[in-house]
Amino acid sequence: MTAQLIDGKALAETLRASFKDRVETLARQGKHPGLAVILVGENPASQVYVRNKVAACEAVGVHSEKIVYPADVNPAAVLAKIAELNLAPNIHGILVQLPLPRQFDEDIILKAIAAEKDVDGFHAENVGALAQGNPRFIPCTPYGVMKMLEVGKVDLRGREAVVIGRSNIVGKPMALLLLNAGATVTVCHSQTRDLAAHTRRADVLVAAVGKPRFVTADMVKPGAVVIDVGINRLPPEEGGKLCGDVDFTNVREVAAQITPVPGGVGPMTITMLLANTIEAAEREDVA
Ligand code: GUN
């Protein structure tokens, strides 16, 4: 059996087209959703992500502000900027690109963002709301995965879901979302013993490891839904292309549905950031 593809690129385009309508509706009410993106330092991957986030905002008519600091900036300056953005009426979402340089305590920075503008969903208050099954902002990558499972018509109730990776950005919120959707969830990580014994039980397998082709066909239950969150750059001797955490060519012959890399989860992350930002602006109406 060759797995069906869950096309994140196509889904992202459909959703982004619908966002334009929502932005226009807001504009008719005199409201213009705005996102502030803070980038500290010169991490090349972060620079690309931030550039793409700003471009995506522009494409759907969301106002964006990019604020860049040198790697050696005093965290107090960033905190002062966040305090200013928290009060700015034209800014509905604030995002600090991670990782931050060493002098920063990430937790302090994330908690400084007003919870109602925390479109990444990383503030402790928003993490707590998600854990209680009553989310305000859902972290963008796992939110995108849930949308992909929805279009793939994957019923999660009572299914075995296995997440590989326990990061605050992907693994943990992913596990909570699957749990809230009624799946029986196992979270595996670098200290998990006999990883394959867990993954082979999965009806839904989410890989967020950061290692190219880490999940091989023998680790996948026939008929499973496989979601590949990894975006890894292969070394030049292997062609330098992007590659996921899943050995796509071989796993595709075992799984029922699979997400490709590129064109899978990647385009959904920024799409859901737009969704959260627009939602923040829409919610302001109700407040
Ligand atoms: N670094 C890697 N992924 C993310 C993300 O989704 N948001 C932020 N702020 N930083 C990241």
Residues 37-84 pLDDT 10s: 999 999 999 999 999 999 999 999 999 999 999 999 999 999 999 999
Number of domains in the chain: 2
Together in a domain, 150 and 220 = yes
Query: What CATH number does the domain containing 47 carry?
Result: 3.40.50.10860
pLDDT in tens, 178-226: 999 999 999 999 999 999 999 999 999 999 999 999 999 999 999 999 9
Please report, as a single letter, which amino acid is at residue 14. T
pLDDT (0 to 100) of residue 4? 98
pLDDT at position 285 is 59
126 assigned to some structural domain: no
Read off the pLDDT band of 286 (50, 70, 90). Answer: low
Nearest in space to 95 (alpha carbons), one of 72, 73, 77, 112? 112
Verdict on whether the full-model pTM lies above 0.95: yes
pLDDT the model gives residue 120: 98
Distance, CA of 47 to CA of 279 (rounded, Å): 25
DSSP assignment letter at 246 = B
Position 247 in a domain: yes
Q: What CATH number does the domain containing 160 carry?
A: 3.40.50.720
Please work out whether the CB of residue 277 comes within 6 Å of at least one atom of ligand 1. no
Q: Is the CB of 95 under 6 A from ligand 1?
A: yes
89 shares a domain with 51: yes
Q: Average pLDDT over the chain, rounded to whole?
A: 97
| pLDDT over 60 (residue 287) | no
Q: What is the mean pLDDT of residues 136-159?
A: 98
What separation, in Å, do the N-terminal and C-terminal C-alpha atoms of the chain show? 51
**What would the pLDDT profile of 264-277 be if each residue is shown by its tens digit?**
999 999 999 999 99
- Radius of gyration of the CA atoms of the chain, in A: 19
Q: Which residues are catalytic?
A: 53, 97, 120
Give the separation between CA 235 and CA 35, rounded to whole angstroms: 34
Nearest CA residue ID for atom 8, ligand 1? 97
Q: How many CA atoms lie within 13 A of 270 on its CB side?
A: 24
Q: Does the C-beta of 97 come closer than 6 Å to ligand 1? A: yes
